[in-house]
Structure 1
Amino acid sequence: MAHAFVLIMAVMVFVNVLVYVCMHPILWFLRVPQEVMEGMRQYLVIIYAGLLASSLYNFFACLLRALGNSTVPLVFLAVSSVLNIGLDLLFVVGFHWGIRGAAAATVVSQYIAGIGILLYVVVSQSGRAAGATMKPQKSQQKGMLREGFDPVIMKEIITLSSLTCLQQSVMNFGILMVQGLVNSFGATTMAAFAAAVKIDTFAYLPVQDFGNAYSTFVAQNYGVKDYGRIQKGTKEAFAISIVFSIIISILVCTFAASLMEIFVKAQETAVIACGVQYLRIEGSFYCGIGCLFLLYGYYRAINKAQMSVVLTVISLGLRVVLAYILSVPLKAPGIWVAIVNHKNLKEI
């Protein structure tokens, strides 16, 4: 636990410094329209400050889930989400801070979740016997300071995490390339995509968490070689994910316009129409996305993360190529179709 925490914090500091230093190249890579360039820069300057909070939350949330406690991370995430909405209204509507207010609301809510879950773990583990606590003992802390990292432990952590890190990095790099293409179609398409992606991400977040829970379930049973329980759990996980995805698809496709109006003023009809188009194309295929997250979770659980990396690299390459090809005759809708095709090809 101590080795992983120090490693994650070190990587976080490096990335945090890197994104601030590379602010202008990032904006150039994203092909941000000139009319929204300054607003984008203001948002990123503030939102990057939340990387530490996100790292804290994700580390301790994963730790608690590994111990079988998925309730507490969900509670802190729910509190953070509700607080984010409240602070958005306060900072943007009340204080008129605009873009900076939206970014500040996100960062503050992230720190509430990150610090809150950190304190929960520290308090809940304090007072336990040395053999029953996850908290590093003083002798262990002094040993690390005196002797440095244990290469065996560090190698194991890096081996387990490197492929997943590579997968996520490749995935998000592909997303950024598509984002740059979207931005090239102007501020209207960019605004529609930004709002629609928020709705899209929120819609399939539960099935993504199904995948995380399923991964933990498989890993625990794989460790004790209870393969029968894995088979039974797999059938139930896929059934739950598919049924839930169908329901969400129906809701998103039916109420796409109303959902867009949560983020966009009703008078901005062009933005809403573009966002509705995205949601109805993308929202029709949540079943595939749900199954995909379960497959990722399965390969991680049985220590074959390289399969997920291979699938991600191939599928994202197809996604970017298709997006650039289809956007020529179809314009923005071609990008939405490419996103759907990439997800279904990856699942196949």
Structure 2
Amino acid sequence: MKQIILFFLPLLWGNLFQQLYSLVDSIIVGKGISDQALAAVGATGTLNFLILGFVVGMTRGFGISFAQSFGKDDMTLLNAYIRAAKKLSITFGIIFTIVCVSLLNMMLSFMKTPDDIFEDAYKYFIVILLGIVVTVMNNLEITILQSLGDSKTPLTAMISSSLVNIMLDIILIMAFNTGVAGAAVATVVSQFISYLLCLKKIKNIGFLNLGKEAKEPLALSFELMRIGIPVALMNSVTAVGAMILQYFVNLMGSAYVAAYSACMKFASLFEQFGMSVGLSMMTFVGQNKGAGKIDRIRLGVRQGILISTVVNLPISMLMIFFPGTLARMLLTDNTIIDYCTDFMPIMGISFLALGWLFVYRYSVQGLGNTFIPMLSGGLEVIMRLAFGFSVGRKGFRGIAVSEVSAWIAAFIMLMVTYYVLINQKSKGRS
């Protein structure tokens, strides 16, 4: 319990700090440029989630192999995996950059980006896409450290890079009037700062410079892709699910869009608690799976469920009993606030299930199975689509039901998967 909590807390603070930075960044763009500029940046959000979510998910999947090798105390294999992962990350980063830059105009048109913000949206996201290699390498270095049990260095790097980002936003936007492109440049530069800080720490870890490759590089690359690609696809599929519900909300009108945006901002903030517990479990399970300590995995997952319940229960109560208070922090229109009070309690009732979903999803991944979690992302899309058509079109509460139905279905699927896999591991061990 102590080890899990000590690893979880820096992850949590890092994720919360990122959410805080995102809010500050939005304020600077909105106040420093215009509401239209903020809308342009926001218009790229789904594409950002879809594209960068893939490459970030891929590197996170690589971390499962790192953690298991570290748990086995096989430093030769660990070094070989890391070298192969770096080559793959650079290769995928370059490919994604070329493809996405070439198709950006078409993607923005397909998303029905309004004409009055199209140019700014293009200027902003083209810079983000040109920095994909920096983003993927930064996330790989963070994943390496977290896989070895170090969540403090990534936290320090994240805070430092976020402060640099905010400072550059102010300088580039306020002083040099670079517009939305300046905001994008600040984001890429801050990612590079984080990369350098993590790389410096990794170079000081002696055993990462030891040993020769244990397998042929091609075999290692295929193994990493077998684990990493499903995690990447799961992230992208989740983005598709978000796009589906956004479509149904858009049909209801701008007032509902505002209410939905406010509710999901709180959901994104609050889910960081459960997600951080889940990420902790992925490293914990991966290391102990590598060491063959199945009973320790069982105990750790039970304690992970307990930690998730403890941290999410107050959040659940807050969303159920004080939705209006939360909504007033972002909104002023009483009608829109009333919509939030219809929507948010439904999420609150099911928020514990979302936290448990993260624990089981990342535990299954830590055991080396990334295919079923990928399928659970597909199940989420199906549930959002089915409930969106059946109840989402009938009212705003139906949209909330569509969202939580995806959480509950994926939670049940992954919980069953975890217990099947852990029982198989126990029998295999004995």
Scaled by the length of structure 2, the TM-score of the pair is 0.66
User: Are 1:242 and 2:306 counterparts?
Assistant: no
Query: How far apart, in 2, do the equivalents of 1:228 and 1:158 lie?
Result: 29
User: Are 1:80 and 2:145 counterparts?
Assistant: no
1:184-333 equivalences in 2 (<5 Å): 184-252=251-319, 264=330, 278-330=343-395, 332-333=396-397
Q: Deviations over 1:54-84 (max 9, x none)?
A: 3122101111112121211122223334554
Query: How far apart, in 2, do the equivalents of 1:334 and 1:35 lie?
Result: 32
Query: How far apart, in 2, do the equivalents of 1:317 and 1:89 lie?
Result: 42
SS of the aligned residue for 1:116 comes to helix
| 1:47/1:104 contact within 8 Å kept | yes
Query: How far apart, in 2, do the equivalents of 1:62 and 1:91 lie?
Result: 30
**1:337: Cα distance to partner?**
2.3
Would you say how many aligned residue pairs link Structure 1 and Structure 2?
330
**1:298: Cα distance to partner?**
1.6
**1:208: Cα distance to partner?**
0.9
**1:236: Cα distance to partner?**
1.0
Question: 5+ residue gaps in structure 1?
Answer: 141-148
Percent identical pairs in the alignment equals 24
| Structure with higher RCO (Cα < 8 A, 6+ apart) | 2
Distance 1:329 1:194, change over 3 A: closer
SS of the aligned residue for 1:22 comes to helix
Question: 5+ residue gaps in structure 2?
Answer: 1-81, 413-430
Partner of 2:33: none
**1:276: Cα distance to partner?**
6.0
Selected match of 1:176 from 243, 254, 263: 243
| 2:353/2:411 contact within 8 Å kept | yes
**1:209: Cα distance to partner?**
1.8
User: Are 1:152 and 2:219 counterparts?
Assistant: yes
**1:333: Cα distance to partner?**
4.1
Q: Deviations over 1:95-114 (max 9, x none)?
A: 77665565454444333323
Q: In the alignment, residue 219 of structure 1 is paired with which amino acid?
A: G
| 1:164/1:305 contact within 8 Å kept | yes
Query: How far apart, in 1, do the equivalents of 2:291 and 2:353 lie?
Result: 30
1:8-47 equivalences in 2 (<5 Å): 8-33=89-114, 36-47=117-128
Query: How far apart, in 2, do the equivalents of 1:166 and 1:210 lie?
Result: 22
Query: How far apart, in 2, do the equivalents of 1:217 and 1:151 lie?
Result: 28
| 1:29/1:180 contact within 8 Å kept | no
Selected match of 2:200 from 119, 129, 134: 119
**1:315: Cα distance to partner?**
2.6
Distance 1:31 1:260, change over 3 A: farther
**1:186: Cα distance to partner?**
4.9
**1:327: Cα distance to partner?**
3.2
Scaled by the length of structure 1, the TM-score of the pair is 0.79
Q: Deviations over 1:290-344 (max 9, x none)?
A: 11111111211222222212222223212123223333221x4432321111111
User: Are 1:343 and 2:407 counterparts?
Assistant: yes
**1:178: Cα distance to partner?**
3.1
| 1:218/1:230 contact within 8 Å kept | yes
| 2:248/2:393 contact within 8 Å kept | no
Q: In the alignment, residue 297 of structure 1 is paired with which amino acid?
A: Y
Query: How far apart, in 1, do the equivalents of 2:326 and 2:165 lie?
Result: 18
Query: How far apart, in 2, do the equivalents of 1:187 and 1:35 lie?
Result: 17
SS of the aligned residue for 2:350 comes to helix
| 1:30/1:179 contact within 8 Å kept | no
Distance 1:12 1:268, change over 3 A: farther
Distance 1:176 1:253, change over 3 A: same
